Structures are given as C-alpha cells and as structure tokens.
Amino acid sequence: MPLPTTFLPNEVPLQRLQDVEYEKRGVEVWVKRDDLIHPQVSGNKWRKLKYVVADALEKSATKLITFGGAHSNHLLALAAVSHHL
C-alpha cells in the first residue's frame, strides 16, 4: 500500500545562498530546506518515519508505538503523521 503523503510536499525546495565571498570565488551554495516539509515533521524525522509508517500500513497495523525522550521532536512528528493516516 503506498504511503499517503498528500499532507507533505513531494519535493523539498532548494534555496541558493548568496554571499559576496561565494560570488568572488565563483561558487554556488544551495541549501535543501527540510524545515519547510511540515511544521512538525521536518527532514530527518520524515525520512526516518516514512519507512516505519509504510511498513505499518502494509501490514494493516492499527497502532504505532515508538520511543523517544522527554520533549522528543520524534514523538511530535509521529503524532502529526498519525493524525493524517
């Protein structure tokens, strides 16, 4: 079963950093804006969770259990993903 990702963008925007020193050296620096994926599910958290969630959906799981420290952003990300399933 494909992972429902309609609440997340398919592509992460790239942003060019402009700096006089870069321009003097003819260097282009681009930043992948993972912070724009979702307010609670940003870059590394989404890349980690998408496989776990896809596996759970494939197995028709009705619950997800995870572990994270106090005030964990991982737990917040899982809650946000679960809300959209």
Tokens describing residue 25: 């050296």
The stretches in the chain having pLDDT less than 70 are 1-10
- What's the whole-model pTM score? 0.60
Q: Residue 82 and residue 70: Cα distance in Å, rounded?
A: 19
Q: Residue 22 and residue 7: Cα distance in Å, rounded?
A: 36
Is residue 60 annotated as part of the catalytic site, yes or no? Answer: no
Of these residues, 42, 60, 72, 82, which one is catalytic?
72
Structure confidence by residue, pLDDT tens digits, 53-76: 888 888 988 888 888 777 888 888
Q: Residue 66 and residue 32: Cα distance in Å, rounded?
A: 27
Per-residue pLDDT, 1: 40
